[in-house]
């Protein structure tokens, strides 16, 4: 590692002796940009206030007040995008649970170390770290205000990108997922994690969903008229499901666009606990009766995914990318992936794996019999105009593979 690439480190441990020991060990290994905090709260404050946020946090799991598990969740809420090393005296099982949690939060976990920490193991783990670009590090750095988001909708600054969903067995392109982007006049392309939450909090999500849906349905009709028989998936926020009027909007917009409900997939994520699920339950069930396809998004990371499965007749289960990418090489991740797949089959649902990023992921899906796949290995989300060209290239690639296998 060159001088410039040395990571900034933060060590969190409630035991003063352990804290000193680890910082000393790091200094012996040549890491000098190290801060120590004796509680999760102090560490969060440091992450918030520091001009240069840490690249790697070494975190003790067992701390009074805020334990490592709560600290992890709070780190995500505070927009931490760096790496993590878990340090603990707890048993292997507990560490694995937290490892899964970190994956679900999309935190880059370098690994875990058991106390007492052997210096060689610590050095090996730090070797795994590689610098990432600042944009990736601080993805939720700037969240926009309600007025800005309201203006963006009114001024037509939102555009849909489309990411293909393909059948794993045949490679056929089955449909696309519409993913909203904000073409900001000053800041360039803004991703949804920086404005969907704001729209939800300030009563703008119904209008946002309406705009996305109208655009996606019109585009699907254009593709279908041109002979591309694609389904379209639209992301629905739980906040859209509070008024039964939503059913009429969706039915009306779909009919007006000339698209059949069977070709419309509604992807629902439960990002927070719902106090009263009666309205969402009624709305989703009625949409299903109208033959819309319902999909449970980010499965494995939601709050009550299992009770949702029991109560709502979903057609599709999307396994969160935290349980897909790299599953072939990690037993813990694979266990959750397998369980999700089995559960979906038992409920008669189609399975979609998100976050298929490389050939190994793709082959793993083939071996395990997942139905559909989505991810950067297949294609990144793209503007509508690029899709027909991409499909041609993809089909050519599929034919080549088939020839190699035959």
DSSP 45-78: HHHHH-SS--SEEEEES--SSS-HHHHHHHHHHT
Instruction: In angstroms, give the least distance from the CB of 298 to Mg ion.
Output: 4
Instruction: In angstroms, give the least distance from the CB of 181 to ligand C2E.
Output: 7
Among 179, 259, 319, 333, the residue binding ligand C2E under the rule CB under 6 A is 179
Q: Which does 308 bind (CB under 5 to 8 A by kind): Mg ion, ligand C2E, none?
A: none
Instruction: In angstroms, give the least distance from the CB of 219 to Mg ion.
Output: 17
Residue 191 binds to ligand C2E (criterion: CB under 6 A)? yes
- Residues numbered 263 to 282 that lie near ligand C2E (CB under 6 A) are 267, 269
Q: Which is nearer to ligand C2E, 125 or 199 (CB)?
A: 199
Instruction: In angstroms, give the least distance from the CB of 280 to ligand C2E.
Output: 14
Residues 6+ positions from 369 with CB-CB distance below 8 Å: 168, 341
Mask for 354-393, x = binds ligand C2E (CB under 6 A): xxxx----------------xxx----x------------
Q: Which is nearer to ligand C2E, 193 or 282 (CB)?
A: 193
Q: Cβ(75)–Cβ(107) under 8 Å?
A: yes
Q: Which does 40 bind (CB under 5 to 8 A by kind): ligand C2E, Mg ion, none?
A: none
Residue 302 binds to ligand C2E (criterion: CB under 6 A)? no
- Residues numbered 112 to 171 that lie near ligand C2E (CB under 6 A) are 163
Residue 340 binds to ligand C2E (criterion: CB under 6 A)? no
Instruction: In angstroms, give the least distance from the CB of 108 to ligand C2E.
Output: 11
Q: Which is nearer to ligand C2E, 55 or 298 (CB)?
A: 298
| Residue 143 token pair | 């969240």
Instruction: In angstroms, give the least distance from the CB of 237 to ligand C2E.
Output: 4
Instruction: In angstroms, give the least distance from the CB of 238 to ligand C2E.
Output: 9
| Residue 220 token pair | 């699907």
Q: Cβ(66)–Cβ(38) under 8 Å?
A: no
- Residues numbered 267 to 286 that lie near Mg ion (CB under 5 A) are 267
User: Which value, in Å, is the radius of gyration of the alpha carbons in the chain?
Assistant: 23
- Give the Cα separation of 246 and 223 in Å (integer): 26
- Give the Cα separation of 182 and 299 in Å (integer): 26
Instruction: In angstroms, give the least distance from the CB of 88 to Mg ion.
Output: 30
Residue 88 binds to ligand C2E (criterion: CB under 6 A)? no
The runs of H, that is alpha helices, within 290-330 are: 305-311
Q: Which is nearer to Mg ion, 110 or 230 (CB)?
A: 230
Q: Is residue 196 within a helix (H) or strand (E), and if so which, with residue range?
A: helix 196-201
Centroid of chain to Cα 386: 24
* 240 Rama class: left (phi>0) / alpha (psi -120 to 50) / beta: alpha
Among 235, 305, 340, 351, the residue binding ligand C2E under the rule CB under 6 A is 235
Residue 298 binds to ligand C2E (criterion: CB under 6 A)? yes
Residue 297 binds to Mg ion (criterion: CB under 5 A)? yes
| Residue 371 token pair | 């139905």
| Beta-sheet strands, E only, within 83-172 | 83-88, 108-114, 158-167
Q: Which is nearer to ligand C2E, 129 or 195 (CB)?
A: 195
Q: Is residue 236 within a helix (H) or strand (E), and if so which, with residue range?
A: strand 231-237
How far CA 283 is from CA of 212, 241, 259, in Å, comes to 19, 7, 20
Residue 298 binds to Mg ion (criterion: CB under 5 A)? yes
Q: What share of the chain is helix, strand, coil (3-state, %, to 5)?
A: 50, 20, 30
Question: Which position has the token pair 């875990």?
Answer: 112
- Residues numbered 212 to 251 that lie near Mg ion (CB under 5 A) are 235
Residues 6+ positions from 74 with CB-CB distance below 8 Å: 40, 44, 66
Q: Which residues bind Mg ion (CB under 5 A)?
A: 235, 267, 297-298, 354
Q: Which residues bind ligand C2E (CB under 6 A)?
A: 163, 179-180, 191-193, 196, 209, 212, 235, 237, 267, 269, 297-298, 321, 354-357, 374-376, 381
């Amino acid at each position: 590692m060159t001088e410039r690439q040395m990571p900034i480190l933060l060590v969190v441990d409630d035991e003063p002796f352990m804290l000193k020991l680890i910082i000393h060990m790091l200094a012996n290994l040549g890491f000098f940009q190290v801060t120590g905090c004796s509680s999760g709260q102090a560490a969060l404050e440091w992450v918030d206030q520091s001009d240069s946020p840490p690249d790697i946090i070494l975190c003790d799991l067992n701390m009074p007040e805020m334990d490592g598990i709560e600290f992890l969740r709070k780190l995500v809420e505070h927009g931490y995008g760096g790496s993590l090393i878990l340090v603990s005296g707890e048993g292997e099982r507990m560490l694995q649970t937290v490892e899964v949690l970190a994956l679900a939060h999309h935190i880059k976990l370098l690994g875990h170390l058991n106390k007492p920490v052997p210096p060689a193991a610590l050095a090996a783990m730090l070797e795994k770290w590689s610098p990432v670009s600042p944009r990736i590090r601080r993805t939720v750095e700037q969240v926009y205000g309600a007025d800005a988001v309201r203006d963006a909708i009114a001024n037509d600054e939102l555009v849909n990108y489309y990411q293909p969903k393909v059948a794993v067995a045949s490679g056929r392109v089955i449909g696309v997922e519409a993913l909203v982007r904000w073409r900001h006049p000053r800041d360039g392309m803004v991703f949804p994690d920086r404005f969907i939450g704001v729209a939800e909090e300030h009563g703008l999500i119904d209008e946002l969903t309406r705009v996305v849906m109208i655009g996606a349905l019109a585009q699907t009709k254009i593709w279908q008229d041109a002979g591309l028989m694609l389904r379209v998936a639209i992301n629905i926020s739980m906040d859209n499901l509070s008024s039964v009027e939503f059913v009429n909007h969706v039915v009306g917009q779909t009919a007006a666009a000339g698209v059949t409900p069977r070709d419309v997939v509604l992807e629902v994520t439960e990002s927070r606990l719902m106090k009263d699920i009666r309205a969402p339950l009624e709305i989703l069930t009625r949409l299903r009766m109208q033959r819309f396809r319902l999909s449970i998004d980010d499965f494995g990371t939601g709050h009550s995914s299992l009770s949702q499965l029991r109560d709502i007749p979903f057609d599709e289960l999307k396994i969160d990318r935290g349980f897909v990418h790299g599953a072939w090489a990690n037993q813990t991740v694979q266990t959750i992936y397998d369980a999700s797949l089995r559960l979906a089959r038992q409920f008669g649902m189609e399975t979609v794996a998100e976050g298929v990023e490389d050939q190994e992921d793709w082959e793993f899906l083939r071996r395990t019999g997942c139905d559909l796949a989505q991810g950067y290995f297949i294609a990144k989300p793209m503007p509508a105009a690029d899709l027909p060209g991409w499909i041609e290239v993809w089909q050519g690639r599929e034919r080549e593979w088939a020839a190699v296998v035959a």
